[in-house]
Amino acid sequence: MSSNWYAESGTALILDEKETIEFCKKYLKEICGRDMVKVPDAYTAVEELGEQALIRSKYKHEQADSSSIEEVDEKHFQISMYEDEMSGGIFYPFECDERCGKDNCFELYEGYYGIFFTDKSTLPQKIFKGTYHSMDEIIDEFKEKLEDYLPKDFNWKAHIGFIQYAIYA
């Protein structure tokens, strides 16, 4: 079996390494009842959560078991990690901040980046068929997934945008 580089792109919310670890801590505490003290280290927590379906913020009080969920559904979502087998990552946020250069984007480097893709496709041919009608609709979707696991003053527009990278698989 041979391996090749493949392109991955779409509309996503990204968290930097520190934000990803804080997200994982809060998720583990609220959903799994596990404090980070009980987890060997933050990176173990990130890897653990990257392998399962997570419970959307909107449904967190139902305490559904996420360990047996294989597919993403209306109550679950997944986190992808920008890791060693990925390269050339670039992110164009809806709203630029200090990370952005003159091209209104920034590059992703080694380290943990939590990546959460939209539920529906944002390919141009799909958007024309009404998958999303506004930027606010995309932001609302991410709030439904993540709001209770992120800081109250979280800047949604600076963390949501178009991402592209190559992945070796």
Dist. CA 148–CA 36, nearest whole Å: 17
Dist. CA 148–CA 23, nearest whole Å: 9
Q: Would you state the structure tokens that stand for residue 105, as one six-digit string?
A: 């984007």
Tell me the per-residue pLDDT of 17-65, one tens digit each, with 9 for 90 and over.
888 888 888 888 887 775 555 555 666 766 777 667 888 888 887 755 5
**Of residues 146 and 33, more confidently modeled:** 146
pLDDT at 92: 92
Tell me the per-residue pLDDT of 65-122, one tens digit each, with 9 for 90 and over.
555 555 567 888 888 877 767 788 889 999 888 888 888 888 887 666 889 999 988 8
Burial letters for 75-109: b for 16+ Cβ neighbours within 10 Å, e otherwise?
bbbbbbbbeeebeebebebbebeeebeeeebbebe
pLDDT at 34: 59
pLDDT at 152: 94
Looking at the DSSP bridge assignments, the partners of residue 165 are 8
| Cα torsion through 70, 75, 79, 80, rounded to 10 | 50
pLDDT at 116: 92
